[in-house]
Structure 1
Amino acid sequence: MYNGPETFGEIVAYRAKTRPNERFVRFESGDLTYQEFHQKGNKLANLVMSLGLDKVDTCAVMLPNSPEFLITWLGLARLGVVEVPINVAFRGDLLVYILNKAECQALVISAQWVDRLNEISAQLEYLRDVIVVGDEPQIKSNRFTWYSFEKLLSEASDECVESQMKPNDPSLILFTSGTTGPSKGVVLTHRANFSVAKTACEVMEYHPEDRLFTVFPLFHVNARYTTILVALLVGCDVVMHNRFSASKFWDICRMEKITAFNFMGSMLTILMKQKESAQDADHLVRKAYGAPTPQEIYEDFQTRFHVQISEVYGSTELGTVAANPAANFRKGACGKIRPIFEVEIHDENGFPCPVGKNGEIVVRPKKPGIMFTDYYGNSEATVKSWQNLWFHTGDTGRFDKDGYLYFIDRKKDVVRRRGENISSYEIERVMNDHPKVLEAAIIGVPSELSEEEVLAVVILKEGETVAPEELLEFCQTRMAHFAIPRYIRYVTELPRTPSQRVEKYKLRSEGITSDTWDRERVGYQVKR
């Protein structure tokens, strides 16, 4: 049981003192030791302080997996400046929305995405300072003060910043996918982050000799708190890449002597689709942690690769609610409820369902500070998420007689594609802005790789015609590449309730029809 420091700055300082010259993270560009991380985090804190940012101010971060991202995370955490990590695929309206909603005064951004910032500069209400990692851009909006990350860091002091951080202080704002409205900014404390990491350590029984591998981005909970923070808690090290490569995955694991990795979405399915090899089990990996686990390949994956799978259930707001450890894994279930939470299944009237009956999964904590505090700047959504003293997940599920939780479906209108939660609302908003589109409804349809693909059901304005490719070209500059619909289907009307809400369950039941256009079938390429 972990009983050490409970703020990010303190745990890094502790590891730097006990294991200063040992490697902490290996990036594709090089290694970072505990001591280097600690010292550069101090530099970043002093740098940010010199710009006038203080405790509870907000600073956005839009970087790939890199030492600069980790250093920024640490520096902001030491000052108490609240970090707002941004998906590096975001652009246009959604990028404007997040920077304004979170009231970000500063942004640390990779030079490769500065053009996206220039495009929206006139719409940003709070941003004043932009710190660029990499070559300074030639074209810069005069609305901001621009800085070079490398230059500022080289000039900054590495004197330790004493910010008197407490475990219940806010750490970051993570924006979830919007469902019936815009994305919500989930405010998480250091204690909530540590709760996620401690659960992962317990479920996986990690120890200092482990070496963790992740291909997930640092703007996600997964890489941050079930890999990086986990490594700090147990004193092991991490190998971090920017992308998942199925063809190179096991070679990387062999070369780096990986013992455990995290998975999400279709990753296990894609690995199983690779050509079988005599070397499939020739590696040191013995553990994998994530969700969901495709039932149809569960046994075959473990047999082929000699890797034990542990699965969890949770959310950005809650952390990890249920765990299905490899030692007593129940196929098809999410696992049993963690001792720090209380969970019930409620019917549409808010009453508990009997064992075996489907209903909404509702949750509340047994310890203070282990889940989100609120949706930033959105008290209405915060209050709405809590009803009858329970947090309503929007997910449907059931319990079996042994207390195992089963996830059934999402009440939320979110499409889950290859590890990404995609907001139907955000895609509809963009597509409805096309001059020839009357209305679009976005749903998820089953993918051959597990999880879902995006299907746009579109009504055109009277007398208009538009090629599917034209609609996708319209989307390309306005949304993340992974949100671009794979399927487009034209209809003359959408099924509706008496209150005129689109009955998406009917569209889902129809699924991919004979008149549905498939961009992969015609070879259309989405630009990244």
Structure 2
Amino acid sequence: MDRVEIERNREAKVFGLKDVFAPEERTFPQIMTRQAERYCDRRLVTFGDRSLSFAETKALAGSAGHMLREAGIKPGDTVAIMCSNRIEFLTAFLGCAWSGAIAVPINNASRGAQLEHILKNCGARLAIVEASFLNAFANLPTDLPLQQIWTIGKVPADIDLKVKHAPLPEATGHIDAHPCKPSDTVAILYTSGTTGLSKGVCCPHAQYFWWGVHTAALLGIDDDDVLLTCLPLFHTNALNTFYQALLTGAPVTFEPKFSVSRFWTSLAESGATVTYLLGAMVPMLLSKEASPADRAHKTRIALAPGVPPQFHGPFTKRFGVEILEGYGSTETNFVIGSLYHEQKPGRVGKARPGFDLAVFDESDNSLPAGTPGELVVRPHEPFSTATGYFGMPEKTIEAWRNLWFHTGDRVVMDSDGYIQFLDRMKDTIRRRGENISSYEVEQVIVAHPAVENVAVFPVQSELAEDEVMAAIVLKQGTSVTPAELLDFCQPRMSYFSVPRFIDFVAELPLTENGKVQKYKLTAKGVTENTWDREKAGYKLTR
């Protein structure tokens, strides 16, 4: 049996879970109960030196649900969680999912007005907060719905919380699972809100069933695999990883955070065969000096969406780990992806079974193959995508108009159905009447041998239109002048896309999910240290 046939057989086996769990059984309590009976004492999750079997995880869900119910949390109530990757996060999340409450994981970097908005919008009366993040709650206004905080770890003496707080209670006792439905919201996950207020995405139980199925199917996960993720549990990627483990019987290890220096060691120590990365992490790992740890592991594949194509080959050659591309968002699911040997360079894949894709213009007219437009998605399976934005009906109507979810991503669909990602619709730069894809410019610049990472974004020119600016991180021990960099760019892009402004920076501002916060770069704009090709007299060729 060749490799392609093995991949397809593994995909089919995982996708068969849709027949194991009938539509009405695609809820966390029913999945957990069935899998605990099947795998019982088999390890499911590990946090540091603490591991739980399938049976122990089910018991924890029941006792954590009892803990919340005793505190007056009823089905449908929201519970805010701000916690790093540790067992207490899982305790809170599972307690909500078991008891019918709604978990609201909050990005650990949220502060000030953003955190205030999230807490007001979700209406959580209880927050479960790791002690190191309590300072974010100290200066919040007192008119929030929040009435109590359960703390994880020792509370700093200088923290002055305005609401009642107490240590996270011990999870004892037990309640039967709430009879929830696949359509019931299991979590509200807030988007980054870089261009406005953060939107709370309502994620139903069935959506996470399908996240686990599609992702595990493409990765070819079986119960002989071991999973490891260092991505944060407040993000849909890591929550999806938990469901992959739950559905397939493959144990998962949650690392506290991503570490370039310890990444391969962690994989080796855990015995992981599958791992998870974000686009920026791959060039960071490649920039590290080679060592014996590069191959001293069992990892065969990494889900790593958004990795520039030129890094795929070098990464696999050096580390022995294949990179699987794909596309999904908090609102959708793993809607685009292909098996490893069916991938095409520079493409994120084809539509997954159970989803329709189309490319629309600004008036929601379908565009032909090869024409850039907005990616829109429509599911076949009930509640396999999000149900809307919590407390924001106007935003829900806008995004789900005409019965399609509008992703806000500009793409091109090939004649054979493969999707090429261009950029976020709002990342498009308009210059001299031309639309410029920041993503395409970034791909050219990052291909330069001296460049480790880059972000391209618009800044306003003297003519009240966009100019192209690039913030660039160079690889350690390398150098390149702005003019030399533009000499590299000119033969590889349209003349109007060549950046006018260049900043060499030590690092780019990133979210905890590894995404570049371009709004911060745009707000900073051109400074006295910025190189301007027009002032420098650099000439473009057409």
**Range of TM-score over shorter length:** 0.7 to 0.9
Aligned to 1:262: 276
- Cα displacement string for residues 337-358 of structure 1 (whole angstroms, at most 9, x for unaligned residues): 0121111111233222111111
Q: Is the 8 A contact 1:175 1:184 kept in 2?
A: yes
Q: Structure 2 regions of 5+ residues with no counterpart? A: 1-15, 430-437, 463-508, 534-542
Structure 2 residue 205 is matched with structure 1 residue 216: no
Structure 2 residue 68 is matched with structure 1 residue 48: yes
Match for residue 191 of structure 1 among 187, 198, 206: 206
- For the residue of structure 2 that corresponds to 1:39, the secondary structure is helix
- For the residue of structure 2 that corresponds to 1:364, the secondary structure is strand
Specify the code of the residue in structure 2 equivalent to 1:164: P
Match for residue 305 of structure 2 among 275, 291, 295: 291
Aligned to 2:412: 398
Match for residue 146 of structure 2 among 119, 127, 130: 127
Aligned to 1:369: 383
Q: Say how many residue pairs are matched.
A: 447
Aligned to 1:489: 525
Aligned to 2:364: 350
Aligned to 1:173: 188
Offset at 1:456?
8.2
- For the residue of structure 2 that corresponds to 1:244, the secondary structure is coil
Distance 1:27 1:456, change over 3 A: farther
Deviates more, 1:444-453 or 1:318-327: 444-453
Q: Is the 8 A contact 1:179 1:412 kept in 2?
A: no
Offset at 1:91?
1.3
- Cα displacement string for residues 66-101 of structure 1 (whole angstroms, at most 9, x for unaligned residues): 111111111011111111100111111111110001
Q: Is the 8 A contact 1:8 1:190 kept in 2?
A: yes
Aligned to 1:525: none
Aligned to 2:402: 388
Deviates more, 1:207-216 or 1:24-33: 24-33
Aligned to 1:153: 170
Q: Is the 8 A contact 1:323 1:334 kept in 2?
A: yes
Q: In 2, Cα distance between the equivalents of 1:81 and 1:37?
A: 18
Q: Is the 8 A contact 2:74 2:101 kept in 1?
A: yes
- For the residue of structure 1 that corresponds to 2:187, the secondary structure is strand
Q: Is the 8 A contact 2:235 2:513 kept in 1?
A: no
- Aligned Cα RMSD in Å? 3.0
Distance 1:451 1:353, change over 3 A: farther
Distance 1:489 1:452, change over 3 A: closer
Aligned to 1:203: 218
* Identity level (%): 30
Specify the code of the residue in structure 1 equivalent to 2:217: E
Aligned to 1:98: 118
Q: Is the 8 A contact 1:89 1:480 kept in 2?
A: no
TM-score (norm 2): 0.76
Aligned to 2:315: 301
Aligned to 1:506: none
TM-score (norm 1): 0.78
Offset at 1:278?
4.9
Q: Is the 8 A contact 1:456 1:485 kept in 2?
A: no
- Cα displacement string for residues 432-472 of structure 1 (whole angstroms, at most 9, x for unaligned residues): xxxxxxxxxxx99947444637898899xxxxxxxxxxxxx
Q: In 2, Cα distance between the equivalents of 1:278 and 1:138?
A: 45
- Cα displacement string for residues 339-387 of structure 1 (whole angstroms, at most 9, x for unaligned residues): 2111111123322211111111111112221111111110000111123
Q: In 2, Cα distance between the equivalents of 1:335 and 1:375?
A: 27
Structure 2 residue 352 is matched with structure 1 residue 338: yes
Offset at 1:137?
4.9
Q: In 2, Cα distance between the equivalents of 1:199 and 1:388?
A: 26
Specify the code of the residue in structure 1 equivalent to 2:30: E
- Cα displacement string for residues 204-234 of structure 1 (whole angstroms, at most 9, x for unaligned residues): 1100010111010000000001x11100000
Q: In 2, Cα distance between the equivalents of 1:43 and 1:349?
A: 51
Match for residue 31 of structure 1 among 38, 48, 51: 51
- Cα displacement string for residues 45-74 of structure 1 (whole angstroms, at most 9, x for unaligned residues): 111111111111111000110111111111
Q: In 2, Cα distance between the equivalents of 1:139 and 1:277?
A: 44
Specify the code of the residue in structure 1 equivalent to 2:145: Y
Structure 2 residue 330 is matched with structure 1 residue 316: yes
Distance 1:314 1:80, change over 3 A: same
Aligned to 2:244: 230
Distance 1:181 1:52, change over 3 A: same
Specify the code of the residue in structure 1 equivalent to 2:283: T
Q: Is the 8 A contact 1:313 1:320 kept in 2?
A: yes
Offset at 1:397?
0.7
